[in-house]
């Protein structure tokens, strides 16, 4: 059986990545693609690398007949997303890639995103989309909220440790190295090649990065007590890839064993041998997450590192993984592409 | 039916790329991987991006039981390749990715590669592996010689024009922009990141690049007269991608029409609308070739540009495309991966 | 004696590069910096790499007292530049980095830039700023028009050959590889890191690049007959560097000798040994131009390659070189910085 | 007065960087350059970006007449360096860029470098070369040991804080982002462009990086008690630049004030306004160090970040700064070059 899907906001990087992945999916067909400002153009004009595919032209959202759509991917900016989804049929399955439905607490949403939430009843319904930790809920969900790409990387590194209580919850430091496509196809001076190539720097430092809202929510929920991590993002001269270096206190071997056990049956999250650390080089273009643990020379300290491709496992791959569950398909369908190296 | 294959020289980039592509092939199974110096290691140690795959460990060639192999990919250096293939069973199907069997004329081989050919009878048997132009011969071949990656890019741009006689055969200038992975995983100072990043320069200039042997042979054969092109390669700070800018004399519109017609039914070679030129960005990681034609302001001159990924269409993707034909599989099987962008 | 200068349009890359160079100049002092939209900010806010310098804050042009200024660098966009310069004191020495005063023929200006010229009397007065070929005129000029960066690179490769008549003037093909900073600090999608890194493509192909107006004018003037070259630009993933590969007909050795002789006494233009070609790696951050000549295997054909840093020799370095002449300073003052490698 | 210097090991990146800097020095003249394997070649052959300079050819060390040399820069690998320096005249001023004389304790040297020290009496004489903290000792030293580039970056971030006791000395975490030229011009697979570009990963993790020996020694000495930091290096796709992100406990404002005061009169170390963090983009190619402090949302925690160019302030620029002191020159002579951006 073939499922019909639509992608709203198909002219951004996550939209294009969804098309790339779905192009290889055996039972999903793209029926509609929207892009407000670029409506009327073909996908080949907006993303020439998809030129070989037979795709519907870009249209405005209101031109889409959602009656023929089984599931809708929403790759719109936050705030726009909640307005658009509010107006969609209430029985339409939706995977939202924006930040709008990630946070359960309206006050937290407003704190991190600056505007009150305008679709609170949808927010209640939404399931947090980190497949490995919400698999059952996602399977039966109507509306799944894709996670922040950095939030995904950090949770893959630490969530089983927080749950198992094998690390000190009051001393978690996350040093994030992020590639530029996480910022989208937006025209900002700091995203220009000339500003970014051959150098690096921190940004959103000191506890101001919005993905902290997700860490606070999910780690607190998992621990059954308040957890507040320290997160310092850095922007690196690369297009894809998140490396999350986590400084934790605990027994390194126990930490490794906990992760290895938690991910033993996961198709996409791989725990490296003890003492090895991952590289973004080795997950690029794929839905895989590599996690590694190294003991520090200082007793009682360990470094946990996770690596993902922000556009795939961090965003569009995760979205397809969730859609597979929601549509009753094999979770890995269309997603077993090997990483590209070099 | 599943075909069993071996890859000799699996520790190089083209070997890894073969594994990446075959991992998604529905009816090919990797039975053996060889790597002389790295025999005994696992593929995950040599190429951690393939860690999720269940692959045989690297062995020495002599450890492989070729009786159970249907087809063997040979990704060894030239000269080594002819020696190794000479010792393989004579009924084993082989796709060779080296330069050893590309040139029909032993003297030409010796001229370009510096050593006399040591397997002349195999050389006679070999079919030149540019699928789009030798499809029928490849289907029934036992030994197929994969082409040079740059030679492939140049022939996609010009071969239909040479055959049709719509360009001046005495005035063909090819300006090649090549990424670094074409040089393989070899330890050379000029391939270091610090030597290459943020700059560019010509190399093998003045008619000394070995792929000229292939252009001379193939264009001369197609034209039925001697054709000698001018080729100037440049090394660029990128890992994958060949852009071949060809300066030709002829009617640009006729040139475009000739290419569009020649490639109309090709699954992997796409002719862009007249006046548009391709980008390596839009074929990265894929088996596609984009070809474009632009008319110059100077009457009677046109620019023909082709773009491929050197590791895929230029090498391992081409090899799998040929293997598909030799094994009676659909030519595109395992190869319809969309390019990765960004 | 110390000269006082102003830089109009200091918030762009060429403005910053002027400040970088002048910071090391023994007898030039920066008295005023303008930036329309960023007026009120400090230079350290706009360009933190200049933070260690004691610089005047950015102001609007009308706030500058030009009575205290000996020479004004104008790093504004074309069209804006002619309007601004028209309003400046008529006895103020000016080095303009825009395209507004490069072309002598008003019709040519309008053809290439799309608008009629609004300061024709200034255009008449302007001297074309390629120092090596207009040294005497520049020394006594009031208004010098900095050249296009690509136009500079191409003329360094070919001008002595055009003058000497040692190449076929009807068959000149220039394949340009340009870095991204040549496009300025402008917010365009194709200048984003994610769009540019790891790939390359042609642009302004077919004879539409504006710097052709300069080649037409200067080569025609030098040859005493109409010369029309073919120019195909390519955008590369690097921040600085122009490599101009020129395909010409003539005797390679004679071509080399002609260039070597022409540049024998030039402080900034170096002719490489016969058979060697330059790299942008080796001129980065400097005012040097490297020129090389290679003979092709096809008799009567040669490849002439030049390499410059587009922001230095192609723009701000050239501007300072001209300013030195106009101010009676040593031409090389402040400009002998060695290139940065790696 | 002009000082005559020699550079031993001039064919590596730090050797070339020394030449680049000294080329602009008003009172230092390069009299001899050595390079064992490349003896006989010119510097222009080994480093074409220095082609415009009039330099002595590369020779073997034994060919140098040290009688005419006032100061010798030794840019050789560790272990080689101690052997070579042992054989040099005992009254020759030496700035050593290797690791051989950085550690005061022979046992510490052997622990981190794996071999017993073979020139213990020289080791005793050596002064640790971090100019800002050993200025007086360096001025009168005969043998100065250039610091590790990462060790320099980390000490600029933290040394005044360790001395002032404003941070918790038992909880210092340093996350290092390092560019590839720090590994030198060595032929290693992980330094190839294809292995490094577009990705990143940790290395020498868990407390095994050799520069920890310097941190242990210097911080312990400054604090008057044992200090052991946690250091996790990451290799990034860039040629120059060290970003050291330090996670410390203390009052952020007090930390900032302490640094601002310590560096108030330093010509090369600049403290950014409170709340701002530095970028390697803004120190590239220069001898400047930018230091910034940001308060975290978690009370009592701060992030201190330093940025330097590893080849300049981290190595050759530091070496020249020390040489200036040893020769009685102005400390900043030849070193006030502004950073290159973009």
Average pLDDT over chain A, rounded to whole? 97
Tell me what pLDDT residue A1 has. 82
Average pLDDT over chain D, rounded to whole? 97
A281 to chain B, closest Cα gap in Å: 7
Q: Which residue has the tokens 């009169």?
A: D265
Partners of residue B331 on adjacent β-strands: none
C49, C282, C332: best mutation site toward chain D, by most D Cβ within 10 Å? C49
B243 to C234: CB separation less than 8 angstroms, yes or no: yes
SS3 D111: helix
C-alpha to C-alpha distance for D41 and D34, rounded to whole angstroms: 10
Tell me what pLDDT residue C104 has. 96
Mean pLDDT, to the nearest integer, of A261-275? 98
Nearest CB partner across the interface for D192, out of B192, B237, B238: B192
- The secondary structure of residue C273, as a DSSP letter, is P
Q: Which residue of A has its CA nearest to C342?
A: A198
Write out pLDDT tens, residues B91-148. 999 999 999 999 999 999 999 999 999 999 999 999 999 999 999 999 999 999 999 9
Of residues D74, D149, D246, D289, which has the active-site annotation?
D149
Nearest CB partner across the interface for B340, out of A24, A278, A285: A285
Residues of D in contact with B196 (CB under 8 A): 193
- B118 to chain A, any CB pair closer than 8 A? The answer is no
Tell me what pLDDT residue D99 has. 97
Tell me what pLDDT residue D1 has. 82
Structure confidence at residue D331 as a pLDDT band (50, 70, 90): very high
Residues of A in contact with C197 (CB under 8 A): 193, 197, 237-239
Nearest CB partner across the interface for A199, out of D275, D279, D305: D279
B49 to A20: CB separation less than 8 angstroms, yes or no: no
Tell me what pLDDT residue C27 has. 98
- Maximum Cα–Cα distance for chain C, whole Å? 62
Active site residue D72: no
Evaluate if residue B341 carries a pLDDT over 90: yes
Write out pLDDT tens, residues B31-62. 999 999 999 999 999 999 999 999 999 999 99
A269: enclosing H helix or E strand: strand A269-271
Judge whether B31 and B69 are in contact, CB under 8 Å: yes
Chain-centroid distance, C-alpha C237: 20
Residues of A in contact with D201 (CB under 8 A): 243, 277-281, 307
Write out pLDDT tens, residues A176-229. 999 999 999 999 999 999 999 999 999 999 999 999 999 999 999 999 999 999
Domains, chain C: 3-147+313-326 (3.40.50.720), 150-309 (3.30.360.10)
A194 to C185: CB separation less than 8 angstroms, yes or no: yes
Nearest CB partner across the interface for C201, out of B199, B234, B279: B279
Q: Which residue of B has its CA nearest to A287?
A: B52
- D200 to chain C, any CB pair closer than 8 A? The answer is no
Write out pLDDT tens, residues D83-139. 999 999 999 999 999 999 999 999 999 999 999 999 999 999 999 999 999 999 999
Main-chain phi, psi angles of B327, to 5 degrees? -95, 0
Q: What are D41's two structure tokens? A: 């070649």
Produce one character per residue of D89-120: b if its CB has 16 or more CB atoms within 10 Å, e if not: eeebbbbbbbbbbbbeeeebbeebbeeebebe
Q: Which residue of C has its CA nearest to D193?
A: C198
Nearest CB partner across the interface for C177, out of B212, B234, B296: B234
- Strands, DSSP E only, in D41-164? 58-59, 71-74, 93-96, 127-128, 143-145
B200 to C301: CB separation less than 8 angstroms, yes or no: no
- The secondary structure of residue B281, as a DSSP letter, is G
C-alpha to C-alpha distance for B197 and B242, rounded to whole angstroms: 17
C-alpha to C-alpha distance for C57 and A314, rounded to whole angstroms: 43
Produce one character per residue of A200-232: b if its CB has 16 or more CB atoms within 10 Å, e if not: bbbbbbbbebbbbbbbbbbbeebeeeebbbbbb
Tell me what pLDDT residue B94 has. 98
Write out pLDDT tens, residues D148-203. 999 999 999 999 999 999 999 999 999 999 999 999 999 999 999 999 999 999 99
Q: Is the CA virtual torsion A15, A19, A21, A25 positive or negative?
A: positive
- D198 to chain C, any CB pair closer than 8 A? The answer is yes
Q: Rounded to whole angstroms, what are the CA distances from A233 to A176, A182, B144, D272? A: 4, 12, 50, 19
- D9 to chain A, any CB pair closer than 8 A? The answer is no
For chain C, the 3-state helix, strand and coil shares in percent, each to the nearest 5, are 35, 20, 45
Q: Is the CA virtual torsion D257, D261, D265, D268 positive or negative?
A: negative
C-alpha to C-alpha distance for B326 and D260, rounded to whole angstroms: 71
| Contacting residues for A146 by C-beta, under 8 A, at least 6 apart | A95, A96, A97, A98, A102, A129, A315, A318, A319, A322
SS3 D269: strand
Q: Rounded to whole angstroms, what are the CA distances from C172 to B205, C222, C302? A: 18, 15, 11
D197 to B237: CB separation less than 8 angstroms, yes or no: yes
Main-chain phi, psi angles of A74, to 5 degrees? -115, 105
The catalytic residues of A are 149
For chain C, 342 residues long, the average pLDDT of each consecutive 10-residue run is 96 98 98 96 98 98 97 97 97 98 97 96 96 98 98 98 98 98 94 97 98 98 98 98 98 98 98 98 98 98 98 98 98 98 98
D237 to B180: CB separation less than 8 angstroms, yes or no: no
D16, D25, D52, D267: best mutation site toward chain C, by most C Cβ within 10 Å? D52
C168, C202, C277: best mutation site toward chain B, by most B Cβ within 10 Å? C202
C323 to chain D, closest Cα gap in Å: 20
- B240 to chain A, any CB pair closer than 8 A? The answer is yes
B239 to D197: CB separation less than 8 angstroms, yes or no: yes
Helices (H), A175-316: 193-196, 212-223, 252-262
Nearest CB partner across the interface for B24, out of A51, A337, A340: A337
Q: Beta strands A58-59 and C3-8: pairing type?
A: unpaired
C-alpha to C-alpha distance for B176 and B245, rounded to whole angstroms: 6
Judge whether C277 and C246 are in contact, CB under 8 Å: no
Judge whether B203 and B248 are in contact, CB under 8 Å: no
Rg, chain A, Cα only: 19
A194 to C187: CB separation less than 8 angstroms, yes or no: no
A342 to D173: CB separation less than 8 angstroms, yes or no: no
Q: Which residue of D has its CA nearest to A249?
A: D171
- Strands, DSSP E only, in C186-288? 201-202, 230-235, 242-249, 269-271
A205, A307, A308, A309: best mutation site toward chain D, by most D Cβ within 10 Å? A205
Write out pLDDT tens, residues B199-258. 999 999 999 999 999 999 999 999 999 999 999 999 999 999 999 999 999 999 999 999
Tell me what pLDDT residue A290 has. 98
Return the number of other C-beta atoms located less than 10 Å from residue B189's C-beta.
11
């Amino acid at each position: 059986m073939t499922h019909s899907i639509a992608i709203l906001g198909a002219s951004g990087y996550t939209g294009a990545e969804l098309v790339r992945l779905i192009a290889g999916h055996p039972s999903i067909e793209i029926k509609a693609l929207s892009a407000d400002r670029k409506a009327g153009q073909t996908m080949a004009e907006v993303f020439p690398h998809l030129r070989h595919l037979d795709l519907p032209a870009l249209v405005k959202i209101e031109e889409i007949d959602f009656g023929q759509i089984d599931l809708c991917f929403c790759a719109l900016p936050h705030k726009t997303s909640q307005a658009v989804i509010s107006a969609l049929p209430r029985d339409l399955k939706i995977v939202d890639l924006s930040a709008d439905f990630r946070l359960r607490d309206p006050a937290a949403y407003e704190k991190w995103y600056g505007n009150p939430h305008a679709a609170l009843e949808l927010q209640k319904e939404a399931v947090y989309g980190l497949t490995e930790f919400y698999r059952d809920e996602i399977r039966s969900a109507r509306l799944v909220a894709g996670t922040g790409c950095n939030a995904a990387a950090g949770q893959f590194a630490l969530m089983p440790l927080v749950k198992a209580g094998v690390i000190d919850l009051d001393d978690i430091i996350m040093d994030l190295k992020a590639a530029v496509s996480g910022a989208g196809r937006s025209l900002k001076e700091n995203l220009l090649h000339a500003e970014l190539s051959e150098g690096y720097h921190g940004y959103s430092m000191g506890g101001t990065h919005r993905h902290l809202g997700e860490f606070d929510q999910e780690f607190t929920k998992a621990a059954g007590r308040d957890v507040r991590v320290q997160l310092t993002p850095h922007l690196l001269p690369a297009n894809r890839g998140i490396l999350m270096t986590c400084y934790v206190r605990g027994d390194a071997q126990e930490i490794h064993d906990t992760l290895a056990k938690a991910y033993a049956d996961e198709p996409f999250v791989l725990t490296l041998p003890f003492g090895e650390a991952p590289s973004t080089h080795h997950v690029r273009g794929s839905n895989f997450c590599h996690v590694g643990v190294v003991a520090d020379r200082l007793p009682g300290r360990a470094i946990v590192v996770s690596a993902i491709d922000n556009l795939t496992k961090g965003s569009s791959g995760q979205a397809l993984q969730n859609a597979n569950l929601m549509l009753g398909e094999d979770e890995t369908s269309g997603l077993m592409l090997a990483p590209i190296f070099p």
